[in-house]
Structures are given as structure tokens and as C-alpha cells.
Amino acid sequence: MSHPIENTPSGRGTLFVVAAPSGAGKSSLVNAVLAREPGIALSISYTSRAPRPGERHAQHYHFVSKEEFERMIAAGDFFEYALVHGDYKGTARQSVEPQLAAGKDVLLEIDWQGARQVRAKIPEAVSVFILPPSREALETRMRNRGQDSEAVIAQRLAAAREEMSHAPEFDYWIVNEHFDTAANELRSIFIAHRLRREAQARRHAGLYAGLLAGG
């Protein structure tokens, strides 16, 4: 039986960024991993688009009007934001900066534009791009949603090609062909990063000093 790796608040937290084209299964993977990793806080993005069937305010997104989103932009309230498919999406500063400063790991589900802004501000952020196993699989997943017209699906497939062209900007790639495998791979990235020497030295400074002490 596996257990979550405890993230002791010592030093600054790690910012994880996960991006993918629409239909690649990003949200399902992230939710599955976070269910086993309660030490990582998921930042809920803001969006100016209307909720889709089954989406809830403050659970899937913070849904606001375009005017309210633009007011927040002008006020400097966003850590990152982008115009995606004609709608704004963004991450509020309050959702990220205080938690990182307190030593909490934070995960952002954003697109490549937002990821680029994040890397400019926090170069040490760990970024992951989720790829579909094929273009056919991506199209099938979009159609299985049953929410979009043929014209919208064609538009989203074209946008997906553009989004996937930015995958080389990310640290890690995961191909979401078999869900359980992809979820384990994503969790492994989180765990491995926590076990890096710099992070472990901060968490276990007293242990390490004691192990080296004479006596």
C-alpha cells in the first residue's frame, strides 16, 4: 500500500505546472494524483467563459464575467493569464504566492501560454505536458464528450496541434494512453522532485547533522 509523501513546510514550496491540449485527459489525471497526494494544493483558475454541464463554481473554475476578469488584470491580481479560445483563463496571485512562501507545494492546471509566464517568474517551477497517444484518440475523446458541434471539434483539433507544438518547452512529457500508468508517472514526478538533495537537505538538516556528529 502506498502512502503520500509528506511535504514538511521548510523553505519555499515547489510550483508544479501541468498543461495539455483539450481532450488529453489532464484534469482526470491531476485529480487522480491529488487524491493520493494531499500535500499538494491545486490552484483553481479563473475563467471568463460560461460553465459547461457538470462544472461548479470554485470547484472546477472561478467563473467571472469578462469585465470582471479585465478589472482583475488591470488591478494586477493575476499570477498568470491568457486568452484561450476567445475566453480569459488565469491564476490569481493569492492562490499561489502565499502558499509557496509558506512551504506548500502548489499545482497549476494551465495552458502553454500561462506556463511560459510562470517560467519567466519562477524558473525553478516543474512543468509537465500531457500528450494523447494519437490524433485519432484525441478526436475520439473530444467527440465522446458530446458537448461540441463538428465545427467546434475541428477548431479544437486545430488548436490542439498548436498547443502540442509547445510541448518541447516543458520539463517532462507523459503520454496518456493507459490512464493508471499515466497517473503513476505523474505522481512519480512529484515524488522524485521532493527527494532531490536540496529539498531533502532542508527537511532533514537536523537528522543529517546528527548522523555526521562525532561521538
Q: Which domain CATH number covers 187?
A: 3.40.50.300
Does residue 3 belong to any structural domain of this protein? no
Report the alpha-carbon distance of residue 170 to residue 125 in Å, rounded: 10
pLDDT at position 1 is: 42
Q: Do 70 and 140 belong together in one domain?
A: no
**Amino acid at the residue 43:** S
Q: Is residue 34 part of a domain?
A: yes
Residue whose C-alpha is closest to residue 111's, from 95, 139, 91, 125: 91
Domain that holds residue 166: 15-43+103-212
- Contact between residue 118 and residue 143 where contact means Cβ atoms under 8 Å apart: no
Average pLDDT for runs of 10 along the chain of length 215: 45 91 91 92 94 88 96 95 89 92 92 92 95 91 77 87 95 97 97 89 90 84
Q: What is the CATH number of the domain that holds 75?
A: 3.30.63.10
Q: Considering the domain boundaries, does residue 20 fall inside one?
A: yes
Number of domains comprising the chain = 2
Task: Give residue 16's pLDDT.
Answer: 97
* Same-domain check for residues 37 and 58: no
Residue 6 forms part of a structural domain: no
User: What is the structure's pLDDT at 146?
Assistant: 65
